Chains A and B, each alone.
Chain A
């Protein structure tokens, strides 16, 4: 790769209302190379890509394309300059035909009119070339999501792109389809197209990529040639080690005293097509079960089935000795299952409502609208939880959207502790919050389990999972591959090994 870089980004910074998504990130892309951008949720991958493709404008930093400084203000402008993108969500319009989607905005014309015959012919030729056989006149919506994704890729390929960005393009593809895609990528690389590849499938990354750039928490960790970076080192770089010395949370070996008791949660063959393969998982009272795995490995999907947030289409779930049929969030709450979702803002809190209102929401929902919680009781409950969880500012009447991430997370926790659940499901409760709040939440989890509550704990940070969990379920590629039980297995190294080997070696 002696060529000059085609894209050179230096010192890129991007802020979103108070949150720094990217901080001084550099990124270099050379012609004909396939370059992976790696990182966990919130590492800044998407933001970096969106800055390059003109969706976001950077707050600081320079972008050189072919050595010339550029700044794109719309995806259209980036496309015109030769940067073409395929997103994880199929960004085509499925009400139009396959051919129209391939050529939208650049249809072959006769005078002012679209030449549909020529367009279908060109579409057919393009898809033949890539290795897909479709009826190009049929509406895109009549094909599977996977095929739609391949059409999106074909569109991007056909636009004379110097740079092709593939943002999680394979997450909905099966093995054959992935092979077709990787084949197309290799051919394009030979022709000199530079590609940015984002994927949480490590096999694919190692199979196809020449180089990797790793991001963590909006900063650059480094750039390596693929050959120089073994998988376990890569995972170490992505997940990182907690830099600040969090105080050690003392965990009593709670799990073992109830080992032979009937488990509180018993999932057997529970699964949902296209989201998580059928799995077995037990959770006992007083036990913390951690879920570890990379982004997209199915951590969230696993717990959402138990929480009733998504409907399972196979297997059975038994909770507290009873079969949980027709499971939905309301019945789950009534059974004593509390679920703090991964995305606080869109799925957890109602931003315009106050701290107090957000706290009592689940309790109130369980009582129905007519039986309001008496004001005095409500104020007392809210005040006690504000104090107990050290929520700041300690103002129950403040709109919750004005709180910091850590305090928002505590409000969400308080909401569920108010209904005194038997099982608490926490999906990435410590993501994007400050160290102090993180320690508070970890301590709380330890306390609650000591009091007998069962906890399902999802986290991207392996240190945190190993420190808190009695057992750890490891996921990879939307499959639960192993449950680590023994004390000796509770190390980050063992988890990384299990992820890399897919649970097979052990």
Chain B
């Protein structure tokens, strides 16, 4: 029997490691601060707290689908259907409450159940039939855009239904905006709740840790006896739920349903997730990073709005450049980690 003890200090630095792990998200937060400071220095009224609060009003739906996307990407997959599912959910809200006259709370339940059910279905197809996530979710992108257009090819207003006023009902903090306070509508709180729940689920539950494990290596997770099927199907169900919820938030925010809304929202969500420090290949990343990624996106748009003479496409271009920078950064970090391996 041995009495010998082997000691090894953590040495190699890879993308998953201690400090290296925080480089991408650190860069995102630094960028966010730089954008904010730059805005404050250059524009009047940029230091109003409402500028920050507005990020969480305009981008609440994007934040929610990006959180769902974080789960999927962490598990090593991708979900292209979220933009269309979101648009369809908004349209379904309008149709159910305006045309069909169903009580709004019941409509919400129906829409959320639909989003989750879709996620379960496509997750099962991906897992059991080994269809690539890209292709399987592409089905959703086409299908729900088409179904949305079939319900209505023009805007549907929901102003007549009193229920939809609830989302933009707001709470003042520290007084009115003119007194240096800010306000947030209820729908922002829904988005915050999603962030917090997602954080807890990913970091403190078995399902969350399995998601990371499956994204790290599906084969290993299987051999370790983890519930791979449940995890993979679960993340798509979460993403579907989030997309439906985002559609509901959009209904609250605009009180109308546009059949061509949220085209390309899946790309914005993926970009926000990657800029938030999540590896597109899965296995590493943070929910709070996604929050930061969405805030960068919002802050870019805010800056462009303040500048006045710039157009909105600059946000897209900057987002692309950031995406490039982050992908190259992750690649460099991953390579330096590989090199140190013996």
Which residues from chain A sit less than 8 Å from chain B, CB to CB?
55, 74-76, 79-80, 85, 87, 90-96, 100-101, 104-105, 107, 109, 112-114, 116, 128, 131-135, 138-139, 141-145, 147, 150, 155, 176-177, 179-180, 182-184, 186-187, 273-274
Whether, in the assembled complex, B224 has its beta carbon less than 8 Å from a beta carbon of chain A, the answer is yes
Question: A93, B2: Cβ atoms under 8 Å?
Answer: no
Give residues 1-45 of B contacting A (CB, 8 Å): 1-18, 21
Q: Which of A75, A79, A105, A147 contacts B210 (CB 8 A)?
A: A105
Question: B1, A187: Cβ atoms under 8 Å?
Answer: yes
Question: A91, B226: Cβ atoms under 8 Å?
Answer: no
| Secondary structure type dominating chain B contacts | loop
Bound Cα distance from A74 to B227, whole angstroms: 11
Bound Cα distance from A92 to B220, whole angstroms: 5
Whether, in the assembled complex, B200 has its beta carbon less than 8 Å from a beta carbon of chain A, the answer is yes
Q: Which A residues are CB-close (under 8 A) to B216?
A: 93-96
Q: Which A residues are CB-close (under 8 A) to B341?
A: 145
Q: Which A residues are CB-close (under 8 A) to B337?
A: 141
Closest 10 CB pairs of A and B: A93-B216, A183-B2, A142-B10, A76-B225, A138-B10, A95-B216, A95-B283, A133-B7, A95-B16, A79-B225
Q: A114-B209, A144-B12 are in contact. List 5 more A-B contacts (CB 8 A).
A: A91-B217, A91-B219, A113-B204, A142-B12, A142-B18
Bound Cα distance from A434 to B2, whole angstroms: 48
Q: Which B residues are CB-close (under 8 A) to A147?
A: 6, 8
Q: List 23 A-B contacts (CB under 8 A).
A: A79-B225, A87-B223, A91-B219, A92-B220, A93-B217, A95-B215, A96-B209, A96-B213, A101-B224, A104-B221, A105-B206, A113-B200, A113-B204, A114-B206, A133-B6, A134-B10, A138-B18, A141-B12, A142-B14, A180-B4, A180-B6, A184-B2, A187-B1
Q: Which A residues are CB-close (under 8 A) to B215?
A: 95
Question: A141, B8: Cβ atoms under 8 Å?
Answer: no
Question: A144, B342: Cβ atoms under 8 Å?
Answer: yes
Whether, in the assembled complex, B222 has its beta carbon less than 8 Å from a beta carbon of chain A, the answer is yes
How near does chain A come to B239, taking the closest CB pair, in angstroms?
20
How near does chain B come to A95, taking the closest CB pair, in angstroms?
4
How near does chain A come to B226, taking the closest CB pair, in angstroms?
5
Give residues 208-251 of B contacting A (CB, 8 Å): 209-210, 212-213, 215-217, 219-227
How near does chain B come to A383, taking the closest CB pair, in angstroms?
40
How near does chain A come to B206, taking the closest CB pair, in angstroms?
6
Question: B206, A96: Cβ atoms under 8 Å?
Answer: no
Bound Cα distance from A113 to B342, whole angstroms: 36
Residue of A nearest to B283 (CB): A95
Residue of A nearest to B14 (CB): A141
Q: Which B residues are CB-close (under 8 A) to A76?
A: 222, 225-227
Give residues 156-215 of B contacting A (CB, 8 Å): 200, 204-206, 209-210, 212-213, 215
Q: Which of B13, B213, B217 contacts A142 (CB 8 A)?
A: B13
How many A-B pairs have beta carbons closer than 8 Å: the answer is: 146
Residue of B nearest to A79 (CB): B225
Question: B8, A114: Cβ atoms under 8 Å?
Answer: no
Size bracket of the B interface: 35 or more
Bound Cα distance from A105 to B209, whole angstroms: 8
Whether, in the assembled complex, B291 has its beta carbon less than 8 Å from a beta carbon of chain A, the answer is no
Whether, in the assembled complex, B280 has its beta carbon less than 8 Å from a beta carbon of chain A, the answer is no
Q: Which of B10, B11, B209, B220 contacts A100 (CB 8 A)?
A: B209
Residue of A nearest to B284 (CB): A95
Question: A177, B17: Cβ atoms under 8 Å?
Answer: no
Q: Which A residues are CB-close (under 8 A) to B200?
A: 113
Q: Which B residues are CB-close (under 8 A) to A155?
A: 224
Question: B2, A131: Cβ atoms under 8 Å?
Answer: yes
Question: B223, A91: Cβ atoms under 8 Å?
Answer: yes
Residue of A nearest to B214 (CB): A93
Q: Which of A74, A87, A142, A184 contacts B11 (CB 8 A)?
A: A142
Q: Which B residues are CB-close (under 8 A) to A74?
A: 222
Question: B212, A93: Cβ atoms under 8 Å?
Answer: yes
Question: A112, B205: Cβ atoms under 8 Å?
Answer: yes
Residue of B nearest to A84 (CB): B225
Bound Cα distance from A177 to B2, whole angstroms: 11
Binary interface encoding of chain B residues 122-166 relative to chain A, with 1 for a CB under 8 A from any of its CBs, else 0: 000000000000000000000000000000000000000000000
Question: A107, B209: Cβ atoms under 8 Å?
Answer: yes
Residues A95 and B212 in contact in the complex (CB < 8 Å), given A87-B223, A145-B341, A145-B342: yes
How near does chain B come to A127, taking the closest CB pair, in angstroms?
9
Bound Cα distance from A177 to B216, whole angstroms: 26
Q: Which A residues are CB-close (under 8 A) to B204?
A: 113-114, 116
Question: A96, B212: Cβ atoms under 8 Å?
Answer: yes
Q: Which B residues are CB-close (under 8 A) to A187?
A: 1
Q: Which A residues are CB-close (under 8 A) to B221?
A: 93, 104
Question: A134, B223: Cβ atoms under 8 Å?
Answer: no
Bound Cα distance from A45 to B200, whole angstroms: 44
Q: Which B residues are CB-close (under 8 A) to A92?
A: 220, 224
How near does chain B come to A117, taking the closest CB pair, in angstroms?
12
Bound Cα distance from A142 to B216, whole angstroms: 14
How near does chain B come to A75, taking the closest CB pair, in angstroms?
5
Bound Cα distance from A134 to B8, whole angstroms: 6
How near does chain A come to B145, taking the closest CB pair, in angstroms?
35
Q: Which B residues are CB-close (under 8 A) to A145?
A: 341-342
Question: B9, A135: Cβ atoms under 8 Å?
Answer: yes
How near does chain B come to A78, taking the closest CB pair, in angstroms?
8
Q: Which of B11, B21, B223 has the most A CB atoms < 10 Å from its CB?
A: B223
Residue of A nearest to B229 (CB): A74
Q: Which B residues are CB-close (under 8 A) to A75?
A: 222-225
How near does chain A come to B200, taking the closest CB pair, in angstroms?
7
Question: B6, A132: Cβ atoms under 8 Å?
Answer: yes
Question: A131, B213: Cβ atoms under 8 Å?
Answer: no
Q: Which of A101, A139, A180 contacts B2 (CB 8 A)?
A: A180
Residue of B nearest to A186 (CB): B1
Bound Cα distance from A96 to B282, whole angstroms: 12
Question: B8, A104: Cβ atoms under 8 Å?
Answer: no
Bound Cα distance from A139 to B11, whole angstroms: 10
Residue of A nearest to B215 (CB): A95
Question: B220, A93: Cβ atoms under 8 Å?
Answer: yes
Bound Cα distance from A131 to B6, whole angstroms: 6
How near does chain A come to B230, taking the closest CB pair, in angstroms?
11
Bound Cα distance from A96 to B2, whole angstroms: 29
Q: Which A residues are CB-close (under 8 A) to B5?
A: 128, 131-133
Question: A114, B205: Cβ atoms under 8 Å?
Answer: yes
Residue of A nearest to B6 (CB): A132
Question: A143, B8: Cβ atoms under 8 Å?
Answer: yes
Residue of B nearest to A105 (CB): B226
Bound Cα distance from A229 to B141, whole angstroms: 65
Bound Cα distance from A87 to B212, whole angstroms: 21
Question: A93, B283: Cβ atoms under 8 Å?
Answer: yes
